[in-house]
Amino acid sequence: MTAEVWFYHLERTGLDQALPELLEKTLQRGWKAIVRSAVPERVEHLDGWLWSYRDDSFLPHAPADEPGAGRQPILITTGFENPNAADALFLVDGAEPGDLAGYQRCVVLFDGGDEAQLGLARAQWSRVKAEGHPVSYWKQQARGWEKQA
């Protein structure tokens, strides 16, 4: 099966607000997830943030380099491995998708106010589409995410 690739254009909120919501929806589907960043510092930040982003909730997760990380429903990493057999791959900070075999969905989150991230997202769109992956584009609107393409 070919992974779907969904592009999420962040305009109204930042990554810290959008990512937990998307991860919650992923877990509700019964899926596991990997969050891949191109920036090692982001792994440390997200590890702390996902424990405390909302008072009444947390997302069970671990950095991929911790012992037993493969048992976690959500892993945060800069690497290309899939030790928890994740169904969904989330790419942040311009991380590259690599081989999408084994994933049901890849979600690319990019900051609409950052020209470098916009350019990279456009290049990734062209590349994954040329590889035969179904792609869609989601944009933040006042009432939530809206599929644009």
Candidates 3, 11, 22, 7; CA nearest to 149 is 7
Number of folded domains that form the chain:
1
Mean per-residue pLDDT of the chain: 93
Model confidence pLDDT, tens digit, residues 90-118: 999 999 999 999 999 999 999 988 999 99
Please tell me the predicted confidence (pLDDT) of residue 142: 77
Q: Tell me what pLDDT residue 131 has.
A: 94
3-state helix, strand, coil in the chain (%, to 5): 30, 30, 40
Domain of 27, CATH number, reads 3.40.50.10110
Among 95, 24, 96, 91, CA closest to 61: 24
pLDDT tens by residue, 17-36: 999 999 999 999 999 999 99
Q: How far apart are alpha carbons 65 and 76 in whole angstroms?
A: 9
Query: Residue 144: pLDDT band by 50, 70, 90 thresholds?
Result: confident
Range of the domain at 101: 4-147
pLDDT of amino acid 1: 66
Residue 141 has pLDDT above 90, yes or no: no
